[in-house]
Amino acid sequence: MLSFMWWIVVGLIAGSLGKLFVPGRQPLGCLMTLGLGLVGSFVGGFISSVIFGPDPTDPGLHASGIIMSTIGAVIVLAAFLAIQKRRIGGP
């Protein structure tokens, strides 16, 4: 139960920091920010496993810390905004 709460806290922090670092307006509410942070955490975990190698004690997909979660959230948010802009046809 405590690890689930920790994931929510890390997700909110990483999602909020990701929104802070990406310029422009992001139409995301609190739950979407949480989702952005959680997905960003897994993207950050994947990036860190590619750079530093997989953790032999933790097989499979894993979450990462605040820094890599924030980097992952920035990547996911930038991709989300690019797809959204493409669908709408904006500049």
What percent of the chain stands above pLDDT 70? 84
Average pLDDT score over residue span 2-12: 78
Q: Which residues have C-beta within 8 Å of that of residue 18, sequence separation ≥ 6?
A: 36, 37, 40, 70, 72, 73, 74, 76, 77
Greater pLDDT, 73 or 57: 73
Q: Which two tokens stand for residue 45?
A: 């975990």
Mean per-residue pLDDT of the chain = 81
16-33 tens-digit pLDDT: 898 899 888 887 888 888
Among all chains, which residue has been given the structure tokens 């530093």?
52
Q: How many domains does the chain have?
A: 1
Domain containing residue 27: 2-88
Q: In this structure, is the dihedral angle defined by the CA atoms of residues 42, 43, 48 and 53, taken in order, positive or negative?
A: positive
The model's pTM: 0.79
Q: Residue 80's pLDDT is what? A: 87
